[in-house]
Amino acid sequence: ETGVTQTPRHLVMGMTNKKSLKCEQHLGHNAMYWYKQSAKKPLELMFVYNFKEQTENNSVPSRFSPECPNSSHLFLHLHTLQPEDSALYLCASSQVPGDSAGELFFGEGSRLTVL
Amino acid sequence: SQKIEQNSEALNIQEGKTATLTCNYTNYSPAYLQWYRQDPGRGPVFLLLIRENEKEKRKERLKVTFDTTLKQSLFHITASQPADSATYLCALGLLSGNTPLVFGKGTRLSVIA
């Protein structure tokens, strides 16, 4: 399998549930990202990991908890979410540093609905 | 304040015509700019990169220009086809290397047969 794979593709959860989104990249990249995409808004960067170390946390509420056990896997743990957290959550990877100019490779996204 | 504006939320054009999408920015000094294509329910796909010292880049039917004086990038699709219908995102790269990209909202292009 190649590219960036996200599971599940669709998730419906109640506000009291705990769930996790998973991302796996098969590109040998050393940086991974979580983005949130809501209707009529730009992509919002949530978290960045370089070489498994978190380098950005873009003022994301603590109900979102990332985990990066190795440079190929990234998780987003979800608990006590709000309906406004319903969105498409996109994982991406890139090769940094170098001359790549940060081209991102995205997964297909996980569509989250919070009831 | 810093802004990235993709001027049209939606753009409809006739098949065979050239589609031109704009990306304007204020209070940024990007080192490079990227364009992505996103289909409904899918993740964005990288199309083209243009650096601050480049005026124009081409790839098949795609052409991107970058004017750092006007603070604007134009994205052209020549001989457009219905299969080109998608949302197109511009993204600014503020430094080389691992500084995260900043994205615009996107323009939804519809090519009508």
> How many Å apart are CA B8 and CA B51, to the nearest integer?
23
Chain B residue closest in CA terms to A104: B46
A107 vs A103 pLDDT, higher one: A107
SS3 state of residue B84? helix
Per cent of chain B over pLDDT 90 is 75
Mean pLDDT for chain A overall: 90
pLDDT in tens, B41-95: 899 999 999 998 999 999 999 999 999 999 999 999 999 999 999 999 999 988 7
Asked if residues A6 and A20 have their Cβ atoms less than 8 Å apart, the reply is no
DSSP character at residue B9: S
Per cent of chain A over pLDDT 90 is 70
Work out the burial of residue B19: count CB atoms within 10 Å of its CB; fewer than 13 is exposed, 13-18 middle, 19 or more buried: buried
Asked if A92 and B45 come within 8 Å (Cβ–Cβ), the reply is: no
Min Cα–Cα distance to chain A from B78, Å:
24
Asked if A111 and B41 come within 8 Å (Cβ–Cβ), the reply is: yes
According to the model, what pLDDT value does residue A52 have?
75
Min Cα–Cα distance to chain A from B23, Å:
13
CA distance readout (Å), B24 to A11, B7, B44, B50, B53: 35, 8, 20, 14, 17
Asked if A43 and B89 come within 8 Å (Cβ–Cβ), the reply is: yes
Sign of the dihedral defined by the CA atoms of residues A46, A89, B50, B26, in that order: negative
State the count of interchain CB pairs (< 8 A) between A and B. 72
- Chain A positions touching B43 (Cβ under 8 A) are 4, 6, 90, 92, 106-109
> How many Å apart are CA B61 and CA A33, to the nearest integer?
30
DSSP per-residue string spanning B14-62: ETTSPEEEEEEEES---SEEEEEEE-TTS--EEEEEEETT-SEEEETTE
Q: Mutate which of B33, B98, B108 to test chain A, going by most A C-beta atoms within 10 A?
A: B98
Q: Say if B97 is an interface residue toward chain A (CB within 8 Å).
A: yes
According to the model, what pLDDT value does residue B84 have?
98
According to the model, what pLDDT value does residue B101 have?
85
Question: pLDDT class for A101, splitting at 50, 70, 90?
Answer: low
The phi-psi region of residue B57 (left if phi > 0; otherwise alpha if psi is between -120 and 50; otherwise beta) is: beta
Name the strands in the sheet holding B19-26, side by side, starting at the edge strand that comes first in the sequence: B3-5, B19-26, B72-77, B62-67, B56-59
> How many Å apart are CA B75 and CA B90, to the nearest integer?
9
Asked if B51 and A111 come within 8 Å (Cβ–Cβ), the reply is: no
Chain B residue closest in CA terms to A46: B100
Asked if B43 and A109 come within 8 Å (Cβ–Cβ), the reply is: yes
pLDDT in tens, A8-62: 999 999 888 899 999 999 999 989 999 999 988 899 999 999 877 777 777 899 9
Question: Is the predicted pLDDT of residue B37 greater than 70, yes or no?
Answer: yes
